[in-house]
Structure 1
């Protein structure tokens, strides 16, 4: 079992101000809080668990009016971090799974960073520079996320650079000894939860 669900749940909590789920047990209780807080996306109420919660976050990001206030901006930044999760997980799958994605990252000049992310004893992970992210990720897919979230492509690249190390770390709780098949199964599970909100 990897920590992928926990890291995505944590990002979603941050996006919603950190109050969600403090007094509730499990994802179901947290989802109730999230839906109560958002209030506007009724079509998410039938969607349980993490998928519904992510949908709520993405819905609040794309459906919210732009008032330009700092609070909305901060919430938008956090929500963008959640919005790039499916993009990163799909990218890992496109490479052929976790091990192939790690090899690709190492081959693109990120060997020491990958070592740091995979090391279970390290909790601090530096972001990936935008130019590295641009070389790895499909520009059209990034543009699609930018359109869906009404943000600049550079912001999406920046969000990928922030979240990618966290995802790799979450997928490798036992470092190099992590079971890759387990990690790939967890990727598939989370992607299945959010697939309804991707298109």
Structure 2
């Protein structure tokens, strides 16, 4: 089993552990992947999050230690209410629930996409995101 298979399994497993509807979970994951792509990749979303006032939390997600939590309100402030509303509409849930779900997912996904506390090169990350997308969404 390769690293990307493990990543997909871990993300899916963590989604299954949450108390949300499975359909909205995959939609939230799809929303996270869209946010990363629209922000200019992993480096772009990291910069966006760091500049919004949660730089310490983001550093913990990239680093090798325990991930510091963030709130749904912090995620809404960082990513913009419009983005959260679009993801919520796609997932068929309220924006507050989407923000809370993203606050749980983003740290896990960023942690898994930054092995050994390093942001991978864009080409490798792009391949990983495409493979993850294919495994999760057919």
Residue 188 of structure 1 and its aligned partner are, at CA, apart by: 2.3
Q: TM-score, normalised by structure 1?
A: 0.56
Residue 183 of structure 1 and its aligned partner are, at CA, apart by: 1.6
Residue 141, structure 1, aligned to residue 86, structure 2:
yes
Q: Highest CA radius of gyration, 1 or 2?
A: 1
Pick one of 109, 119, 138 that aligns with 1:167.
109
Q: Does the 8 A contact of 1:4 with 1:167 survive in 2?
A: no
Residue 144 of structure 1 and its aligned partner are, at CA, apart by: 1.9
Distance in 1 (CA, whole Å) between partners of 2:3 and 2:25 is: 17
CA change 1:131–1:181 in 2 (3 A) is same
Q: Does the 8 A contact of 2:72 with 2:101 survive in 1?
A: no
The residue aligned with 1:98 is 42
Residue 128, structure 1, aligned to residue 73, structure 2:
no
Residue 167 of structure 1 and its aligned partner are, at CA, apart by: 0.4
Residue 12, structure 1, aligned to residue 1, structure 2:
no
Distance in 1 (CA, whole Å) between partners of 2:129 and 2:28 is: 14
Q: Does the 8 A contact of 1:88 with 1:160 survive in 2?
A: yes
Q: Does the 8 A contact of 2:62 with 2:111 survive in 1?
A: yes
Cα offsets for 1:99-129 (capped at 9, x unmatched): 1111111111111111111112x1x323321
Residue 193 of structure 1 and its aligned partner are, at CA, apart by: 4.0
Q: Does the 8 A contact of 2:11 with 2:109 survive in 1?
A: no
The residue aligned with 1:77 is 20
Q: Which runs of 5+ in 1 are unaligned?
A: 18-73
> Which structure carries more helix by proportion?
2
Q: Which runs of 5+ in 2 are unaligned?
A: none
Residue 16 of structure 1 and its aligned partner are, at CA, apart by: 5.3
Q: TM-score, normalised by structure 2?
A: 0.77
Aligned residues: 133
CA change 1:14–1:109 in 2 (3 A) is closer
Structure 1 range deviating more: 108-117 or 127-136: 127-136
